[in-house]
Amino acid sequence: TNALAGMYAALLSGFADNEDLDEKRQRNIVDHVLRQGLKGLYVGGSTGESGLMSTDELFEQQAVVKDATNGHETKLIAHVGQPSLRDSIRLARNAEKLGYDALSALPPHSYRFTPDEIFHYYKALAASTGLPLIIYEIPGRVGRESSVAELSAILDLPGVAGIKFSSMNLMILSQLRSKHPDSVIYFGSDETYMTGAIAGANGGIGSTYNVLGKLYVAMDEAMSGGQIERVRDLQAISRTYVERLFEVGVMPGIKLSLRHLGVDCGPCRAPFRILSDAGRKPLIDFLEQPDVK
Ligand code: NAY
């Protein structure tokens, strides 16, 4: 199987109380996630609130996270998707210089780009470094679903190693698996990871892995071992956590969870905020259950 396959936490960003990037809090989050036993970290993605950060802040974050993982076997994927190709390439080259293992990028989504523009974005980005590139299918952000032919043409480009699949269209996922047996396919919906794995995903990248990392490692093992009942039980726990997160907002809720677990990680950056104070208690009660701890 692909050397990049496996389970990755979509890393959160550590901010100071005034919302500046905070090196100490970033290290706290990395240390906590490293203890989960996952395959690696996905740095600077949507879960990391990178859409609210400047390119210069992301340079700094890449360096802090790389330094904080020194001496660990963990794989590092840098998300480098920026509104413009030129800034994406600057971030990609920085990650390569720092020793990251792979790159990933959302499709450009700040305007309604054509499939041809998206293809050329990925082509130029893949050619800009020697690192393998993970592309992205995420209809919820781009406003439309890509066809199998469009995704397949990008996966065939030199330097493209796989795709993060954040769509529920499992027919497309299984078609991509058949056409690209050597590509890594990460499923992007934590709460339904098992369906993606059955359709052909050989890894996952998710926000809730920051908190329930060990659970996702166990789910991956049970999936490989064909223990479907066990997979379903673990998925029900993960799905319940996501239900609780939806009450307060996913990223604010994960930071609330980490603080409850003793990880000083700071706030989310505005305009993110807790959606409902009433949702805090059910979230904390969930974390206190014996089968979650
Ligand atoms: C990233 O780029 O940070 C991600 O990998 C995001 C993965 C998350 N998807 C989205 C759309 O944010 O983990 C999931 C998601 O938060 C989870 O499934 C809860 O819905």
- pLDDT, residue 109, reads 87
List all residues 6 or more positions away from 19 whose beta carbon is below 8 Å from its beta carbon: 266, 267, 269, 270
Indicate the residue type of 40: G
- Among 11, 12, 46, 268, name the best residue to mutate to test ligand 1's pocket (greatest count of ligand atoms within 8 A of Cβ): 46
User: Which ligand 1 atom sits closest to the C-alpha of 191?
Assistant: 18
- pLDDT, residue 146, reads 97
Reply yes or no on whether 164 is catalytic: yes
Q: How far is the CA of 198 from the centre of ligand 1 (A)?
A: 19
The DSSP-derived string for 116-148 is HHHHHHHHHHHHTSSS-EEEEE-HHHHSSPPPH
Question: Residue 210 corresponds to which tokens in the numbers above?
Answer: 């920051």
Q: ipTM beyond 0.90?
A: yes
Hey, whose CA ends up nearest to atom 7 of ligand 1?
206
Closest C-alpha among 225, 221, 211 to residue 292: 211
pTM: 0.97
- pLDDT, residue 290, reads 84
Reply yes or no on whether 136 is catalytic: yes
Sign of CA dihedral 162, 168, 172, 175: positive
Question: What is the block-wise mean pLDDT of the chain (293 residues), using blocks of 10 residues?
Answer: 92 98 98 98 98 97 98 97 97 98 95 95 98 96 94 98 97 98 98 98 98 98 97 98 98 97 97 95 95 81
**Which of 136, 193, 216, 241 is the catalytic position?**
136
Q: How far is the CA of 17 from the centre of ligand 1 (A)?
A: 24
- pLDDT, residue 1, reads 60
Question: Residue 42 corresponds to which tokens in the numbers above?
Answer: 């996905």
